[in-house]
Amino acid sequence: MATLLHLDASAEPEDSRSRALTAALASAFAPGNTVVHRDLHTDPPPHLPHPGLHWAPPLRTGGAPGPAAEATQRRLIGELLDADALVVGYPLYNYSLPSPLKAWIDHVHVPGLTAPSPISGSPLAGRPAVLVTTRGGDYGPGAPNAGRDHATPVLELILGEEMGMDVTVVGVGMTLAGRESPERARSEAEHEEALRHLRELGSRLGRTPE
């Protein structure tokens, strides 16, 4: 039996594109497996309360973060380390990450615990992480906004390059295109293709833990 950590960060409760997409992966993964769902919007981690939390205890040089902050961090890191696979759904907000997802990253990216350091390797190396992003505009090659998405590159850097996870990005753009515009048809086609891809990924990850 495998475990999926399923994170959502959209502030939209009813009609969220990214939530629908991560749910498709989770449903395909679920049969015979465990899905742990953390809604980062309705149950957000606090802003990082102490800089010492960025380091494993033996690597810290400043004061102690305090027991409540340590307990929150232990819970978030524990969920990540216990999962065989991760799916994260997030809209682009102001060219960047939704702030609760940034707070989650600030808690779980810890050299010496989840990322390599002089005292450890990366316990997450090779584990699958699926990044599911939705964007109101067009960020494709040649579009005026190309290169202005500052959310996905950060997650690829932290989860992929730093923690060593095996990252796959599935994105849907132009979600704010008007009903009659040609971009609307492109966005709907991207959404259908993303759903198909995520269902296939979910059932594959559910069959092959780690």
Ligand X SMILES: Cc1cc2nc3c(=O)[nH]c(=O)nc-3n(C[C@H](O)[C@H](O)[C@H](O)COP(=O)(O)O)c2cc1C
Type of residue numbered 83 = A
Residue 85 CB, shortest distance to ligand X, in Å, is 20
10 binds ligand X (CB under 6 A): yes
Question: For residue 160, what is the DSSP state?
Answer: I
User: Contact 112/55 with Cβ under 8 angstroms?
Assistant: yes
Q: From start to end of 80-147, where are the E strands?
A: 85-91, 128-134
Provide, rounded to whole angstroms, the least separation between the CB of residue 57 and ligand X.
36
For ligand X, the closer of residues 148 and 204 by Cβ is 148
Q: Does 18 bind ligand X (CB under 6 A)?
A: yes
Q: Where are the beta strands (DSSP E) in the chain?
A: 3-8, 34-39, 85-91, 128-134, 166-172
Task: Output 55 or 93, the one with its CB closest to ligand X.
Answer: 93
Nearer to ligand X, 73 or 134 (CB): 134
CA distance 49 to 66: 9
User: By rule CB under 6 A, what count of residues binds ligand X?
Assistant: 17
Is 135 a binding residue for ligand X by CB under 6 A? The answer is: yes
Of 65-73, 112-120, 129-137, 189-197, which part binds ligand X (CB under 6 A)? 129-137
Considering the complex, state which of residue 64 and residue 189 has its C-beta at the smaller distance from ligand X.
189
Tell me if 12 contacts ligand X by CB under 6 A.
yes
| 93 lines the binding site for ligand X (CB under 6 A) | yes
Q: Is 95 in the site for ligand X (CB under 6 A)?
A: yes
Counting DSSP H helices and E strands in the chain, the numbers are 5, 5
Query: Within 13 Å, how many C-alpha atoms sit on residue 45's CB side?
Result: 28
CB of 44 to ligand X, least distance (A): 15
Cβ 8 to ligand X, closest distance in Å?
8
Indicate the residue type of 5.
Answer: L
Measured N-to-C along each axis, helices 99-108 and 67-82 cross at an angle, to the nearest 10 degrees, of 90
Pick between residue 32 and residue 144 the one whose CB is nearest to ligand X. 144
Closest residue to ligand X in the complex (CB): 136
Region at 125 (left for phi over 0; alpha for psi -120 to 50; beta for the rest): beta
Torsion of CA 199, 43, 107, 68, to 10 degrees: -140
Residues that bind ligand X (CB under 6 A): 10, 12, 16-19, 91-95, 134-137, 175-176
